[in-house]
Structure formats: C-alpha cells, structure tokens
Amino acid sequence: MVEAVALPTPWQVRFGAGGNEGTADTRKGDVGGSAGLRPHELLEASLATCMTISARMALTDLGITDAGVQVRVELEREESTTRFRYELVLDPELEVHRPALLERLARSPVLSTLSKPLVFHAV
C-alpha cells in the first residue's frame, strides 16, 4: 500500500511505502512547482521501472549480468483512450537480444496489471 500526505507547499505530496518515500508535485496555473514527479509521471515511472527490471532479468537469464538497458515510457491521455508508448533502448552489442527482451517486456507485471479493466472503490 502507498500512502500520500499533502505537504504545506501547494500541490506537493509526500508518498511512501515500506520505508521508501518520495515527493510528487504539480503546477496548475501559477501555483505549485516541480519538487517531484507529477502524478501522471508516476504512472509512467511505474511501467518504465517494471519493464527495465523485466529486461534486466531476461538478460540475466541469458547470462548477461552487466548490461546497459533502458525503457522510456510516455503516457498519452486522449478523450476516450489512455495510451502508453514504450521504447526499449539497448547498448549496440545487445541488439541481437531485442526480440526476446520485447517479448519479456510484453509480459511485465505492471503492463499486465494496467492491461486489465480497472475498478476503483472508495473505502
């Protein structure tokens, strides 16, 4: 579970889980700032970090333990669709493994979670 608490500075929020914490922030009009990721960037970060971990695990399974791998995620909010675009960035010597890594990314846990219908309940 993640908990979020409003901070005194307008729109800053401290969030945390399991002893780890961070700051989120946003700017609306002339109020707020950039002391942390915006809420939608946290969604992008969740998918990007999970996919990067999945790619590193796949490379480890191939016997490659010190690999340069990166995933970039961009969230596009449209009227009727929310679209996540992702890009796998590899060191040139790892390009031969791109198909296997893309297959692993497609099965990453956060992608799987976000691909299912979402239901929200106030408690």
- Give the model's pLDDT for residue 69: 93
SS (H, E, C) the chain: CCEEEECCCCCCEEEEECCEEEEECCEECCEECCCCECHHHHHHHHHHHHHHHHHHHHHHHCCCCCCCEEEEEEEEECCCCEEEEEEEEECHHHHHHHHHHHHHHHCCHHHHHHHCCCCCCCC
Structural domains of the chain, with CATH? 3-32 (no CATH), 39-115 (3.30.300.20)
- Give the model's pLDDT for residue 63: 95
pLDDT tens by residue, 15-58: 999 999 999 999 888 888 889 999 999 999 999 999 999 999 99
pLDDT greater than 90 at residue 109: yes
Tell me the average pLDDT of the chain. 95
Residue keyed to tokens 């922030």: 25
Residue keyed to tokens 């950039």: 34
More confidently predicted of 111 and 31: 111
Neighbours of 104 (CB within 10 A): 19
